[in-house]
Amino acid sequence: MIKRLLWRIKASMGIYETRPGEICGLLAEYPHPGALLKAAQAVHASGYRHFDTHSPFPIHGMDKAMGLGQSKVGYITLGGGLAGLALATWLQWWTSAVDYPINISGKPFFAIEPSIPIMFELTVLLSALAAVTGMLLLNGLPRPYNPLFYSSEFQRVTDDAFFLHIAASDPSFDQEGTELMLRELGALNVEAIHDHGYSELHSATS
């Protein structure tokens, strides 16, 4: 049950488990963002779920094409912001009105008005930290090793190449059939990705 849940969470981050000795997935290159968008739409319509597109920049409309919903980063950020506001309020009230009250020109020990700047600053600080931490968590980053790094073609993904990767863990995956579909969608080439582990990649590149 927990294993199953973990598997699903990892898949949402784009981390797909592979059985040893089997291929990891198929990586298809498409000529431009338009072709990639159409391919992603078709792949999603054929029932695939464990797939992802890789591009040098975000492509407008790709979330919808892949059938992904709204990002949940917003809720995490809101949580961080509320925590920051609560922390700042508590900190200023407790230190100056409870733990060590000092009378300064007869001003109240605690009041909202002079507390606003710190409340604002800590709200922003904790929201920003929560946003970035939440983004990394939802994305499963940092992830220093990725079997996709075995593909030398894939190095152009951060430059000018557009890829679609279907993982072998998808129930609809069938190496020959999936490859044929990817080619029919206009792939320039299709490559099988193998997962030989980190140490192999390390020795291959050094």
Nearest CB to another protein, comparing residues 56 and 177: 56
Angstrom distance (rounded) from CA 199 to CA 122: 43
Of 6-25, binders to another protein (CB under 8 A) are: 12-14
What are the residues whose beta carbons fall under 8 Å from the beta carbon of 194, sequence distance 6 or more? 23, 24, 147, 150
**18, 46, 146, 172: which one binds another protein (CB under 8 A):** 146
Check: CB of residue 53 under 8 Å from CB of residue 59.
yes
Does residue 204 sit in helix, strand or coil?
helix
**47, 57, 103, 176: which one binds another protein (CB under 8 A):** 57
DSSP 107: -
The reply to whether 92 sits near another protein by the rule CB under 8 A is: yes
Angstrom distance (rounded) from CA 183 to CA 185: 5
Of 96-115, binders to another protein (CB under 8 A) are: 96, 99-100, 102, 104, 107, 114-115
The reply to whether 122 sits near another protein by the rule CB under 8 A is: yes
**19, 22, 143, 180: which one binds another protein (CB under 8 A):** 143
